[in-house]
Every structure is written in C-alpha cells, then in structure tokens.
Amino acid sequence: NAGVTQTPKFRVLKTGQSMTLLCAQDMNHEYMYWYRQDPGMGLRLIHYSVGEGTTAKGEVPDGYNVSRLKKQNFLLGLESAAPSQTSVYFCASTRAGLRQPQHFGDGTRLSIL
Amino acid sequence: GQQLNQSPQSMFIQEGEDVSMNCTSSSIFNTWLWYKQDPGEGPVLLIALYKAGELTSNGRLTAQFGITRKDSFLNISASIPSDVGIYFCAGQPYNQAGTALIFGKGTTLSVSS
C-alpha cells in the first residue's frame, strides 16, 4: 500500500551542486505535482504534469526542471542548487477529472549550504 | 495569482474544546479540501467538498463548502492531544480540473491536556 513514495527523504547539498528528487506513485494516477513548503508559506506549486511526456510550470518554477518519462514517475531536478531552495519538497498525484483529491508523499527535506 | 486566506494562523486550546478554522478566497472554487499535516509527514486528506452548501463530517470533524463558493470552514469537536498538527485548506479553481490546488498557509493547532 505504498501510494506516493519520495526519495531521498533527506539531503544536504552545497551551493552549485545538482540533484534529482524522485517521486513514484503506484495508483496509476494521471496527474502529478511537485510542491515546496516553507515556514508560514503553505505549499506552493513548482511544476506539474497531466500525463506522460507533458509538464507545465506552476507558481514557483525558476531553478527547477522536471520530467515525466513514465506515468508512475515524476522527477524534480535542481541543476545548480541555491540556498533559497532549502525547503521541504512534496510530491502529489491524482486521477484525471473533477472531484479527485491529491495524495501526498512524506516529503524530501533538502538543505543547501 | 490566486490566494486563500486561512485563519487563524495558530490556536492554543485545552483538550475537550471545540475548534473552528476557515478559508476565504476572492474567486470561485469548485472543490474545497481540508488536509492535516503531522511533523515530518506529508499532508493527509481529512475531508473533501465538491458542492456549494455541502456539509460533510468525518468523525469529530465537520467541514462546509460555502454557498458563495468562496469560502469553507472546518470544525473539530471535543479536541484531543492527537489533533495537534497543521491544518491546511486547499481549493481547486472553478473549471480547472487537473490543475494544482491552491493552499492556504495553514492553521497550527496546539492542544494541552
């Protein structure tokens, strides 16, 4: 009963390093999302995907790239990490259509030094 | 972009007290969701609302979708220590199925026994 799985759970990077966060869902959901959560800010959308091979920008996309090569996976990349990207990142997925609530993973805590 | 105003920002209550929190928007939503987030975990869906005026309960939790489609509230009755956490409202803009949710900034609930 995995649902939405994020890896890694924690990571510390140096400024300028790159890394990829992986989100995997086993519910055959069409839509997937990446959010970041900062203190007092709620969750803000970075990028999302409505299907395999398609991605779109959210509210705060700068400094991030994404890919959806397989339906079950949604990757979030940081090409050159900056301290401002220190945050908790959440992945979510949902079925297509109206009245479909989003299901979240447990988050990836990323610190950029 | 669209924003949700969630209040109060934080609450400190005694065990057994009732709690009420709400969210308002300047635009119409076709879905209102209430999530709870425990420390170190992702948001977990509590209640989903899909029709204006809808009143839905989940145990001690009750939520309503405002008739104007621009607001929602969540009530928790007879609070217990495990109710501690951050509660988020989230809305899906009208006629935009598949797009990401817009989140409020959260209400942090503390319960003393």
Residues of A in contact with B6 (CB under 8 A): 42
B-facing residues of A in 19-78 (CB < 8 A) are: 30-31, 33, 35, 40-45, 48, 50, 58-59
Give the confidence band of A20 by pLDDT, cuts at 50, 70, 90. very high
Residue B90 has pLDDT above 90, yes or no: yes
Measured in angstroms, the CA of B4 and the nearest CA of chain A are apart by: 10
Contact state of B105 with A98 under an 8 Å Cβ cutoff: no
Contact state of A42 with B103 under an 8 Å Cβ cutoff: yes
CB burial of residue B10 (10 Å; 0-12, 13-18, 19+): exposed
Q: Which residue on chain B is closest to A4 by alpha carbon?
A: B42
pLDDT at position B98: 59
A–B interface: beta-carbon pairs under 8 A: 64
Contact state of A104 with B98 under an 8 Å Cβ cutoff: no
pLDDT at position B88: 95
Q: What is the pLDDT of residues A36-56, one digit of tens each?
A: 999 878 899 999 999 999 999
Contact state of A106 with B1 under an 8 Å Cβ cutoff: no
Q: CA–CA separation, B78 vs B99, rounded Å?
A: 35
Q: What is the average pLDDT value for chain B, to the nearest integer? A: 91
Q: CA–CA separation, A43 vs B101, rounded Å?
A: 9
Name the token pair of B27: 């635009």
Residue B45 has pLDDT above 90, yes or no: yes
pLDDT at position B3: 75
A113–chain B Cβ distance below 8 A for any pair: no
Q: What is the pLDDT of residues A42-101, one digit of tens each?
A: 899 999 999 999 999 998 999 999 999 999 999 999 999 999 999 999 999 998 877 778
Residue B97 has pLDDT above 60, yes or no: no
Residue B68 has pLDDT above 70, yes or no: yes
Name the token pair of B48: 């989903």
Residues of A in contact with B100 (CB under 8 A): 33, 35, 45, 48, 58, 102
Mean of pLDDT values over A18-27: 96
Query: Which among A33, A97, A101 has the least Cβ separation from residue B100?
Result: A33
The residue written with tokens 């990757």 in the block is: A75
The per-residue b/e assignment along A3-27, b for 16 or more CB within 10 angstroms, e otherwise, is ebebeeeebebeeeeeeebebbbee
Q: How many CA within 13 A on the CB side of residue A104?
A: 25
